[in-house]
Structure 1
Amino acid sequence: MRTTARAWPNDDREFFREIQLTHLGGCGGDVIRDLEEQLLRIPRPEAREQMAEAVRCYHAGAHRAAIVMAFAAAMDDLRRKLVDLAGSGGASSDLKAAVGHIESTFALQRAFEEDAIATAQVHAQLISPDEAKALQSYLKLRHLCAHPSGYVATAEEARAVIARVTDSVLSRPATLGMVFVDQLLQRLRSEHFFPAQDVESVTKTLGHELSVMSPGLLPALILKLADAMRTENEAAPPNQRLRFLRAPLYRNALAALSGLATLPQAEAMFWRQRAVQELVLSPDDPLTALSLLAARPAAITTLDDITRGRLLLVANRHLHDADVRQLLKALEPFLRPGERNDLAQSLKRDFVDSLAPRSPIMLAEVGWPDLEDALVERVLAQARATSYIEVNIAIGAADALTAGQVSRISAERRTEFLLDIALKTEGTYPSFVARDRRKDGLGARTDFIDAVIETARGDVRLFVDKEAGLHAHFEMLLASQRPDAVAAIIGALTTASRVLPERAREAAAQSTFPEIVAAVEDALPV
């Protein structure tokens, strides 16, 4: 007599009801699927061929054989995935030990299925507890179908097993669960986790590491990294809270967050995570969130207005930090007009109006052309100031100008600057910095002298207008080892007017430099 689940004793009858109603979906509904479509969801060819055999058994009416083959395909695939995960580099010691035991059991051709299901749930977290419970039920059903138990399997049960093992095992990539996240946090304590700290290297390392982690765990990983940074910061003594002094876990967690901000699979949700937004408000290290934004500046366009405003406020208040200035350079294409204007006003106040010695270098790091133009205008204008203190500052700032900033100044204006500071070497309150240039040469701004020659050959009116400082200007040029510039000016003045040679001779006669006399005499006609 053929028996069904209903003919079994009460305890077994309850078991089969659980299979049919809980794990097999009531033998209907969503499990009635095109079985050939299920095959297309299985990436590994060997597993797909094994499941194809199960599907052929189903179409032949051999439902028990279909269940046995489908479950065999799932368990073989699960074992292989566990082996891959154990050798991935992100596996815990418990996972490696459990997989080693499974492989030993498999080599002896003994039953390993229960251990594989438990390992996949507990140590790899490849499947959920509910899925593990379902697979254990399918294992018991498989035993009934494979042995002379008298159990009669139905077509609905066969379809359900094929569909569900495909869902929970065969179609999934080999990825680790929260156990991987915890293990990763431990390995981040190593100073050698990231071969280099640049964004490209960090992103490449993370991509390799996260290839075995379930994508759904990215929010949990972000939270764990942020918590690790916060914990490390609280544990560090006050004198070790500078970023470069902090423990490897803090630095690596920050680097990992920066890398996550650039990964395609993470960037869409990265800034929406509460843990990241809390870093923006961190009182201990407000620049942390800016470090994350620096990894991918375009991400600012995805932020809500409140988070965006908070980040830019932090940047505005830390303009003297080199990392912030470099970030502003990268952010400029993505800033709204009002945001850029606010930042430009602060930058102008701190680096243009104050004209600090390092202002040129700091504005070069920002790289906003309008601010560099404003800086150059301020330097040239302040060189004409009546206060020797302001002139000293202008000369110091001019010495610090970068090559790019110098290129923004015309030849005529470079010449005018040198004539202006020459005038400031004399009078009741001369500029001592200008007098040093007259005595020792122009130093960093010797590169302005070619502009003097160019100007002299083009239009000498500037030299006529600044005649009072011509004597000091000559000495400044000669102290810079450039008598050719003096000769060019005298020659141009001679050519320009019959009156000017006498003025030039008067300037030469007042000079203590015999080279000026020689340069003048060589340039003037006999």
Structure 2
Amino acid sequence: MTDVPPIYHLHRRVRQHRTSDYVAEAVRCYDAGAYRACIIMTCNAVFDAVRARMEELQAGQVSRAEKVVAAVKEALNDKKTYEGALLTKLRETGVVPVVETDALGEILNKRNHAAHPNCSAATAKDAYYVFEKAVTYFLCEQARPLQFKIDTLKRDIYTEGFFTVPIIDDVARKVDEEIAIFDESDYYKLISKLKKWLLNDNFDEDSKSLWFLLGLLHLDRPKLHSIISTEFFGKRGFSPQNDAFLVDMCVVRPELLSMISGENRKRLDDTFAKFTESLETPSAKGSVRSPTALLVAIADHLKDPCIDTGYPKTVDVVLRRFWAHPDLPALFNTSLKNRMFEHLLEEVKRTDEEGGTDLASYLEREDSTLATALTRGQIETLFQASMASGCRKELLELRESGFDRIPCLREVISLPKPPSTRPVPSTSYLILKGNNLVREFRQRA
């Protein structure tokens, strides 16, 4: 027995499966020198594993696997062995790679020889060869071919309960577990397939494929993000019909915004602008599929001074339509501050008939942000406009209450400017005294 290579190292690679008993018996036969029996037991384990795999894919509604399972059932109903029918149908459908069907054919051929006493005796080398091929292609966790891994993934992500909570961090953790079985070289085909699943779902916000894609983007995998950028944002990667999910992608992974350049960026800017114009009502605060969340992503990632120039049409439309959205106050601390203030001032100057934004509520909500971000001159202009004759009723009520609902802004404009240290003529400024604005002159130090 010393010339017989041990197979324990192969046995250790075998995953737990319903075929485990067959595999254990094959090892015992090998150790006992019963090489014919080892080959037969190994073949039984392999075909049982492949049959179970096809049944899994059938449950996931993979049509090619359904044909394989139907062929197996037909053979069994006719009281025939099913192995030949299974192998034939696998070759016809291409549900597994050719290299795997070839390996399966070799194993079946070895089994057929081993099962007939009139054939030449099976050797330890024969048994080891069959067992090694079985483990490499069918019985170990890493043996699964790419197409099978992708088909299994599709089945899993569309299974009820796969994503338990639609929160991006939880989704990303689940996706990270699933993506671990794929090599980097697998990413190209995986992303291509994922895009097709999204198309079939019409890019619905509740699409499980979209959740999976957003989970991928949330992970720190630069190569994967580069492939996604090329696949989804390339020359023929998107259209206005699927603009909404592109917003989702860029909100979750803002780095995509700078990975896209040239004509593709111009097209994407047009697409985002059209999406924003198409919305009848603003999205809820904190929503992912939201033009305001997209603008925050643009501002956070592109930084000053490129916010305006990176996606100019998108910035224009979002500010024009949704400047008062609760997602956007942080923009007062960016190079978009003056543009945000212009929209605010324009709203303050509107009459009751023209007004659309609940301005008093906005000022109350953003009191601290505005008091910190705006200049003294801008705050003076804001108060001056809000106290003009014919101002809106809500602003009049705000004034009559002593501006107590906006204490931070009131405090800024109620304090006199400190004496100037520069040798310039004294300048005037407005200061709130009581409920009136009074002009005072700034003194020299």
Same fold (TM over 0.5): yes
The offset of 1:71, in angstroms, is 1.7
2:50 equivalent to 1:78 = yes
Residue identity in the other structure for 2:215: T
Partners of 1:228 and 1:46 lie apart in 2 by 31
Partners of 2:410 and 2:137 lie apart in 1 by 81
Q: Who is 1:167 aligned against?
A: 136
Residue identity in the other structure for 1:406: D
For the aligned residues, what is the CA RMSD?
6.0
Q: Who is 2:253 aligned against?
A: 297
Secondary structure of 1:290's partner?
A: helix
Q: Who is 2:67 aligned against?
A: 94
The offset of 1:159, in angstroms, is 1.9
Task: Evaluate the alpha carbon distance shift between residue 349 and residue 47 of structure 1 in structure 2; reply closer, same or farther with a 3 A threshold.
Answer: closer
Q: String of CA shifts for 1:482-509, please: whole Å, max 9, x gaps.
A: xxxxxxx9xxxxxxxxxxxxxxxxxxxx
Out of 71, 83, 87, the residue aligned to residue 113 of structure 1 is 83
Task: Evaluate the alpha carbon distance shift between residue 252 and residue 325 of structure 1 in structure 2; reply closer, same or farther with a 3 A threshold.
Answer: closer
Partners of 1:217 and 1:160 lie apart in 2 by 28
Q: Who is 1:370 aligned against?
A: 334
Q: String of CA shifts for 1:173-207, please: whole Å, max 9, x gaps.
A: 7789489869979x99xxx9999996759959x96
Task: Evaluate the alpha carbon distance shift between residue 71 and residue 49 of structure 1 in structure 2; reply closer, same or farther with a 3 A threshold.
Answer: same
Q: String of CA shifts for 1:161-180, please: whole Å, max 9, x gaps.
A: 11111122212577894898
Q: Who is 1:251 aligned against?
A: 204
Residue identity in the other structure for 1:361: H
Asked if 2 retains the 8 angstrom alpha-carbon contact of 1:376 and 1:405, the reply is no
Partners of 1:225 and 1:167 lie apart in 2 by 27
Asked if 1 retains the 8 angstrom alpha-carbon contact of 2:22 and 2:41, the reply is yes
Q: Compare 139-148 and 322-331 and name the one that shifted more.
A: 322-331
Asked if 2 retains the 8 angstrom alpha-carbon contact of 1:197 and 1:255, the reply is no
Residue identity in the other structure for 1:314: L
Asked if 1 retains the 8 angstrom alpha-carbon contact of 2:171 and 2:212, the reply is yes
Partners of 2:146 and 2:232 lie apart in 1 by 23
Partners of 1:79 and 1:115 lie apart in 2 by 11
Unaligned runs of 5+ in 2: 277-281, 283-289, 419-427, 439-445
Task: Evaluate the alpha carbon distance shift between residue 410 and residue 227 of structure 1 in structure 2; reply closer, same or farther with a 3 A threshold.
Answer: closer
Larger Rg: 1
The offset of 1:401, in angstroms, is 3.7
Asked if 2 retains the 8 angstrom alpha-carbon contact of 1:279 and 1:288, the reply is no
Asked if 2 retains the 8 angstrom alpha-carbon contact of 1:74 and 1:169, the reply is yes
The offset of 1:113, in angstroms, is 2.3
Out of 15, 34, 45, the residue aligned to residue 43 of structure 1 is 15
Asked if 1 retains the 8 angstrom alpha-carbon contact of 2:29 and 2:37, the reply is yes
Q: Who is 2:115 aligned against?
A: 146
Residue identity in the other structure for 1:76: D
Q: Who is 2:369 aligned against?
A: 408
Number of residue pairs matched? 398
Residue identity in the other structure for 1:38: L
> Identity over the aligned pairs, expressed in percent?
15
Secondary structure of 2:366's partner?
A: helix
The offset of 1:38, in angstroms, is 1.3
Residue identity in the other structure for 1:328: L
Partners of 2:401 and 2:237 lie apart in 1 by 43
Task: Evaluate the alpha carbon distance shift between residue 257 and residue 95 of structure 1 in structure 2; reply closer, same or farther with a 3 A threshold.
Answer: farther
Task: Evaluate the alpha carbon distance shift between residue 373 and residue 366 of structure 1 in structure 2; reply closer, same or farther with a 3 A threshold.
Answer: closer
2:215 equivalent to 1:272 = no
Q: String of CA shifts for 1:451-496, please: whole Å, max 9, x gaps.
A: 69868997799xx9869x989x57x9xxxxxxxxxxxx9xxxxxxx
The offset of 1:251, in angstroms, is 3.2
Task: Evaluate the alpha carbon distance shift between residue 454 and residue 135 of structure 1 in structure 2; reply closer, same or farther with a 3 A threshold.
Answer: closer
Unaligned runs of 5+ in 1: 1-31, 233-247, 426-431, 477-488, 490-526
Asked if 2 retains the 8 angstrom alpha-carbon contact of 1:77 and 1:170, the reply is yes
Superposed counterparts of 1:189-200, under 5 Å: 200=168
Superposed counterparts of 1:13-412, under 5 Å: 35-44=7-16, 47-48=19-20, 50-88=22-60, 93-95=66-68, 97-98=70-71, 100-101=73-74, 111-118=81-88, 125=95, 127-172=96-141, 177=147, 200=168, 219-220=188-189, 222-223=191-192, 226=195, 249=202, 251=204, 256-257=209-210, 259-263=212-216, 268-269=223-224, 271-272=226-227, 275-278=231-234, 282-285=238-241, 287=243, 290-291=246-247, 293-294=249-250, 296-297=252-253, 300=256, 305-306=259-260, 310-311=264-265, 314-315=268-269, 318=272, 321=276, 323-330=290-297, 332-335=299-302, 339-340=306-307, 342-343=309-310, 358-361=322-325, 364=328, 367=331, 369-371=333-335, 373-374=337-338, 378=342, 399=360, 401=362, 403=364, 405-410=366-371
Superposed counterparts of 1:437-476, under 5 Å: 448=405, 473=435
Partners of 1:83 and 1:351 lie apart in 2 by 50
Out of 382, 385, 391, the residue aligned to residue 433 of structure 1 is 391
Asked if 1 retains the 8 angstrom alpha-carbon contact of 2:198 and 2:209, the reply is no
Residue identity in the other structure for 2:338: A
Task: Evaluate the alpha carbon distance shift between residue 139 and residue 449 of structure 1 in structure 2; reply closer, same or farther with a 3 A threshold.
Answer: closer
Asked if 2 retains the 8 angstrom alpha-carbon contact of 1:78 and 1:170, the reply is no
- Which structure dedicates a bigger proportion of its chain to helix? 1
Secondary structure of 1:433's partner?
A: coil
Secondary structure of 1:272's partner?
A: helix
Partners of 1:61 and 1:389 lie apart in 2 by 95
